[in-house]
Amino acid sequence: MDDGERHLHRHLLPKGADAVHGPLHGVRHPLRHGVENLAPDDGATKFNDANTRGMNEPGNLFTFRVGIVGPESTGKSALASALAARYGCDFVPEMARGYLERLNRPYVEEDLARIAHLQTAAEDQVLAANPAILIADTTLLVVKIWSYYKYGRCDAGIVSAESQRAYHLFLLCDIDLPWEEDPLREHPNERRQLFSIYYRELIRKKENFALVFGKEGERLNRAVRAIEHFRKSI
């Protein structure tokens, strides 16, 4: 375990977090690539509604918010695009990619705060139109874990903003897709470790989430089933 992961265990994970925690149904062990046979309902996990009540948008129109998270090269952007096409809506793009592609130097820790600001601004721009559903290709949870993993700490502003951005459902993308080389990607051999961090942090925060795994069509179908299941329960 390197220094970055030690900080993650201290700051993100509950004591004894090597074990699975939370009121999950049918949990055996979180290793199906990332999670093996997590739950009989395709990995959909509902804790309670406390974190997701009161998220009506301006104009009294209700927006069901979906955040897509997970390690690198797990199909997050492809899933966001497919879900947007399925629901006929815009999706919030991952702002980090465009920011880093325009950067004419290696990124530094301070850049993550700028990326977080761009991500929240992009999300707020979509929310301003009062859509029935919001699909976010990454959230500040990704930026927070990225920061802790790489630097062993996270800017207080990112931590605060992440804690205040609520979603009705997170879709956690599994690592069963092959790694695709990309100059912006950093951890080809650490996806299992990172997946476990995402998984345990969602449990720690008592978030509603569903696992997304399988081939492209299977991933979309699982995501749609999870979204419809949770939309009906609100």
| pLDDT (tens digit per residue) in 98-134 | 999 999 899 999 999 999 999 999 999 999 999 999 9
The pLDDT-based confidence of 26 (bands split at 50, 70, 90) is very low
Give the closest residue to 94 by CA, choosing from 71, 68, 113: 68
Backbone dihedral angles phi then psi of residue 22, each to the nearest 5 degrees: 110, 160
Looking at residue 27, what is its pLDDT?
A: 29
DSSP codes of every residue in 98-128: HHHHH-SS---HHHHHHHHHHHHHHHHHHHT
What is the C-alpha to C-alpha distance for residues 112 and 11, in angstroms, rounded to an integer? 18
Cα–Cα separations (whole angstroms), residue 119 to 137, 165, 232: 10, 11, 28
Q: Report whether pLDDT(136) > 60.
A: yes
The pLDDT-based confidence of 74 (bands split at 50, 70, 90) is confident
DSSP codes of every residue in 191-217: HHHHHHHHHHHHHHTT--EEEE-SSHH
Q: What is the mean pLDDT of residues 90-104?
A: 92
pTM: 0.78
In the predicted model, what is the mean pLDDT of the chain?
79
Q: Are 143 and 114 in contact (CB under 8 A)?
A: no
Which secondary structure element, helix H or strand E, spans residue 219, and what is its range?
helix 216-232
| pLDDT (tens digit per residue) in 165-199 | 999 999 999 999 888 766 666 667 788 999 999 99
CATH architecture type of domain 3-232: 3-Layer(aba) Sandwich (3.40)
